[in-house]
Amino acid sequence: MILGDRDKDTICAVSTPHGVGGISVIRVSGPLTLSLVSKLGTFLPTHPESHKIYYGNLISAESGDEIDEVLVSYFKTGRSFTGEEVIEISCHGSPVICQTILNNLIQLGARAAEPGEFTYRAFMNGKLDLVQAESVLSLIESQSQQAAKLALRQLKGTLSQKLESIEDDMTWILAHAEASIDFSTEGIKVVEDDVVQVRLSRIESQLNELVGTFKVGKLLKDGFHVVLTGLPNVGKSSLLNLFLEDERAIVTEIPGTTRDVIHGDTSYKGVKFTFIDTAGLRDETTDLVERIGIQKSYEAHQESDAVFFVYDVESGLSAEELQVLDTLDPQKTYILGNKVDKFKSMPGTDLLQTQLMQSKFFQKIPDKSAFFTRKVFFVSALDKKARSLVLDELIAEVSDLQRQNTVLVSNARHFENLSKALENTTRSKSLVDQGMGSEFLALELKEALIAIQETLGKRFDDQIMDRVFKEFCIGK
Ligand SMILES: Nc1nc2c(ncn2[C@@H]2O[C@H](COP(=O)(O)OP(=O)(O)OP(=O)(O)O)[C@@H](O)[C@H]2O)c(=O)[nH]1
Ligand SMILES: [Mg+2]
């Protein structure tokens, strides 16, 4: 995405979704913006005011035909999204009109913008750092209120500020370490090891905290992917419909009803959930379609954030079900005992505990009592309460972090860089502990600093730019 000379071109693109709409917005950015648009919109004054809207007709410079009745917003250099002179033309939302305006601008000397080029220019002109540029994309793509909130917080710079303060601390230590190297022959100590250790510990704990938020940050950004699994007829599809609040899957009393993987999205307390219903697991089926469905069901487990293992409380856990449980990852498995409506009183966990006791699955759980309070539910697909009962528990961790207003990391690139910075910081600390010279500390900490600076885009190369901006579409 390093465009070199092309950075000085005046670029244009439709910034609203493609297709028919009430209005569409065409964005133009670059040094020739006003002079080019003025050739089509002769109603514009020679010196328009920044952030003001002008109304008039656009006339084709070549044919003299009227193109459309439009509103033109003007943003002067230094006061726009990209930092350059920007005009946004709001025209009627027809692809034909948009294309005619773009063609006219291109004929006059503008160039069609590359994907993400407006945001790229904002970054190059210092309007946004790289973390903020990425949050523009997250905000555009956000599919839930919480994801949008998170992206907006990042766009406003909460994560960037935190990273900058870490960067300051690192720079301080590096400066002192380097000064110590210079004076080392004279036996002068520029800074005591204790002071360095305190700062390193602070950096380490801040990085640790940030890295630790990635799981939740990612869930907020992309939503929870939950797979419903279990033997045939236990009520997986009924529960899917309950969670989605929609009759999405077919429910019958015939075992083996669901044969393919069924997806559906829903939102709970502003968080996006994708539920995946799968074919009931059973060995004896001779039905080829069902077999493939069962295979897909196992594959879906791997990619999910949570697995809901559903069983029928009336019949209890069978040997076959215990076998299936053994194949699941206890970290992300929840057990849903379904069909409690068939009982007069709520069944306790005693029977389940006894049955689970012998299983490999159970042995892999570190905190068994927490498992029963947090991850076992007795529900009925006929009772709507089950939805909030289970989903509240799933978002408990998210809600906690949200309440504390923690800065969250939700982007894989940030996570990788911060994890690297954390490793280097931890190693720096142990070097100081071992009484190694400042040159070793400087070498190690420099790596950590680079990782932070790459995150913020204070250092970048083609590869980093490509990775960030390839996700964008044209007009952003
Ligand atoms: N009483 C009662 N019946 C239920 C409940 N949940 C599901 N059922 C019934 O159980 C039968 C099977 O339900 P499904 O939702 O199709 O079960 P499934 O697990 O998707 O079954 P397969 O797709 O065959 O694997 C249907 O007759 C449902 O009406 C429940 O909570 N209580
Ligand atoms: Mg089903």
Nearest CA, atom 3, ligand 1: 339
Answer yes or no: are the C-beta atoms of 171 and 458 closer than 8 Å.
Answer: no
Q: Which residues contact 290 (CB under 8 A, 6 or more apart)?
A: 256, 259, 279
Name the residue of 241, 243, 248, 251 to mutate for ligand 1: max ligand atoms within 8 A of Cβ. Answer: 251
Tokens in use for 372? 């029963």
**CA of residue 235 to ligand 1 center, whole Å:** 3
Mean pLDDT on 369-380: 92
* Closest by CA position to 424, among listed 453, 402, 396, 401: 453
Closest CA to ligand 1's atom 30: 339
Q: What is the mean pLDDT of residues 387-403?
A: 86
CA distances from 96 to 39, 101, 185, 241 (A): 20, 9, 75, 42
Cα 394 to ligand 1 centroid, rounded to whole Å = 23
Per-residue pLDDT averaged across 440-464, rounded? 93
Distance CA 394, CA 392 (A): 5
Confidence of residue 404 (pLDDT cuts 50, 70, 90): confident
- Candidates 223, 216, 175; CA nearest to 199 is 175
* Inter-CA distances, 330 with 217, 288, 376, 451, Å: 22, 30, 12, 34
pLDDT band, residue 133 (cuts 50/70/90) = very high
pLDDT at residue 188 is higher than 90? no
Q: Which atom of ligand 1 lies closest to the CA of 238?
A: 15
| pLDDT band at residue 279 under the 50/70/90 scheme | confident
Ligand nearest 241 Cα, by number? 1
Closest ligand 1 atom, residue 256 Cα:
24
Average pLDDT of the chain, as a whole number = 90
User: Which residue out of 227, 238, 243, 282 has the highest number of ligand 1 atoms within 8 Å of its CB and is therefore the one to mutate?
Assistant: 238
From the CA of 380, give the closest atom in ligand 1: 31
> Ligand 1 centroid to 232 CA: how many Å?
8
**Residue 3 banded pLDDT, cuts 50, 70, 90:** low
Instruction: State residue 232's pLDDT score.
Output: 92
Alpha-carbon gap, residue 166 to 66, rounded angstroms: 56
Spatial separation of the C-alpha atoms in residues 245 and 247, rounded to whole Å = 7
Indicate which atom in ligand 1 lies nearest the CA of residue 280. Answer: 25
Check for a shared fold between 4-128 and 222-403: no
Average pLDDT for 117-125: 94
Q: Which residues contact 187 (CB under 8 A, 6 or more apart)?
A: none
Asked if the model's pLDDT at residue 195 lies above 70, the reply is yes
Would you say residue 59 has pLDDT above 60?
Answer: yes
Out of 69-78, 134-143, 219-228, 387-396, the most confident range is 69-78
Q: Residue 111 has what pLDDT? A: 96
Q: Examine the pLDDT at 178 and tell me if it is beyond 90.
A: no
- Three-state SS at 114: coil
Nearest CA to ligand 1 atom 26: 253
Q: Is the pLDDT assigned to residue 440 strictly greater than 60?
A: yes
Does the 222-403 domain belong in CATH 3.40.50.300? Answer: yes
Read off the DSSP letter of residue 52: E
Work out the pLDDT band at 4, boundaries 50, 70, 90: low
**Nearest-ligand number for the alpha carbon of 256:** 1
Mean pLDDT of the region 257-264: 87
Cα(369)–Cα(353) distance, integer angstroms: 10
Assigned CATH for 4-128: 3.30.1360.120
* Radius of gyration, CA atoms only, the chain: 29
- The ligand 1 site (C-beta within 6 Å) comprises 232-238, 251-253, 255-258, 280, 338-339, 341-342, 380-382
Q: Is-contact 476 140, C-beta < 8 A?
A: yes
Distance 360 CA to ligand 1 centre (A): 27
Give the type of residue at 129: D
pLDDT(51) > 60: yes
Instruction: Say which CATH superfamily domain 139-213+408-457 falls into.
Output: tRNA modification GTPase MnmE domain 2 (1.20.120.430)
| Number of neighbours of residue 327 by Cβ within 10 angstroms | 12
Q: Which ligand is nearest to the CA of 255?
A: 1
**Which has the minimum average pLDDT: 31-45, 71-85, 184-198, 432-446?**
184-198
Please name the residue whose Cα sits nearest to atom 16 of ligand 1.
Answer: 251
> Residue 82, SS3?
coil
Q: Which residue has the tokens 């973390």?
A: 131
Distance CA 294, CA 260 (A): 8
Residue 110 CB-half CA count within 13 A: 30
Range 391-427 burial, b when 16+ CB lie within 10 A, else e:
beebbeebeebbeeebbbbbbebbbebbbbbbbbbbb
Predicted TM-score (pTM) of the model is 0.80
Indicate the length of the chain as a whole number: 476
Which residue(s) pair with 277 in the sheet? 228, 262
Q: Give the closest residue to 135 by CA, choosing from 121, 115, 149, 114.
A: 149
Does residue 379 surpass a pLDDT of 60? yes
Pocket perturbation via mutation, ligand 1, pick of 227, 229, 233 by most ligand atoms within 8 A of CB: 233
Instruction: Pick the ligand that lies closest to the CA of residue 232.
Output: 1
- Determine what percent of the chain is predicted with pLDDT higher than 90: 60
Residue partners of 5: CB distance under 8 A and separation at least 6: none
Task: Quote the CA–CA distance of 239 and 147 in Å, as a whole number.
Answer: 25
For residues 120 and 157, give the distance between their C-alpha atoms in angstroms, rounded to a whole number.
17
Strands laid side by side in the 111-112 sheet: 52-59, 66-75, 86-93, 21-29, 11-14, 111-112
Alpha helix locations (H) across 304-384?
319-326, 350-357, 360-363, 368-375
Query: In ligand 1, which atom is closest to the CA atom of 381?
Result: 31
CA–CA separation, 468 vs 404, rounded Å? 29
Please give the order of strands across the beta sheet that includes 306-312. Answer: 262-268, 271-277, 224-229, 306-312, 333-338, 376-378
Q: Whose CA is nearest to atom 6 of ligand 1?
A: 235
Annotate 313-333 with DSSP letters as a single string. TTT---HHHHHHHHTS-TTTE
For 379, phi and psi rounded to 5 degrees? -135, 170
More confident position, 221 or 380 = 380
Question: What are residue 64's phi and psi, to 5 degrees?
Answer: 80, 5
Task: Please report, for the chain, the start and end positions of each structural domain, with discontinuous segments joined by +.
Answer: 4-128, 139-213+408-457, 222-403
The residue nearest atom 12 of ligand 1, judged by CA position, is: 233
325 CA distance to ligand 1 middle (Å)? 20
